[in-house]
């Protein structure tokens, strides 16, 4: 695909969004990777650094060390707390400011949509 093709397709999508009454946006891990939050399955993702079995419900419930390890990852890692919204988050927040956004359905529990300016009641965090 050439740059001209990409620009034409991007423009067509932008026109569809702006001419719509309401838009629902779906996001997943890829939208937050630019903000420094790793996804799970890419070569640099979470699974490349940790054993996926540590994230099973069985191991979590029956192994105190697994629970401590996961808590350290969340609290000490600082990845989520230090992350800033990127251009994608800001563009989605702009859709809300324009009155076009019905809601954001996201698999991300990183609060970046809200930090970008989306109303908490417009963000549905759904993962698992």
Query: Which stretches of 4-128 are assigned E, i.e. beta strand?
Result: 23-27, 101-106, 123-125
Instruction: Specify the residue for token string 């417009």.
Output: 122
89 among known catalytic residues: no
Which among 87, 89, 113, 127 is annotated as catalytic?
127
**What CA–CA distance (Å, rounded) separates 14 from 20?**
10
Question: Active-site residues: which are they?
Answer: 127
């Amino acid at each position: 695909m050439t740059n001209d093709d990409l620009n034409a397709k991007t423009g067509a999508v932008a026109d569809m969004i702006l001419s719509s009454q309401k838009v629902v946006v779906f996001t997943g891990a890829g939208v937050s990777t630019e903000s420094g939050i790793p996804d799970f399955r890419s070569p640099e993702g979470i699974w490349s650094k940790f054993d996926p079995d540590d994230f099973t419900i069985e191991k979590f419930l029956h192994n105190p060390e697994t629970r401590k390890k996961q808590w350290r990852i969340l609290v000490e890692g600082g990845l989520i707390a230090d992350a800033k919204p990127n251009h994608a988050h800001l563009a989605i927040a702009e859709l809300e400011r324009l009155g076009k956004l019905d809601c954001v359905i996201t698999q991300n529990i990183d609060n970046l949509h809200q930090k970008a300016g989306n109303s908490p009641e417009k963000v549905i965090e759904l993962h698992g």
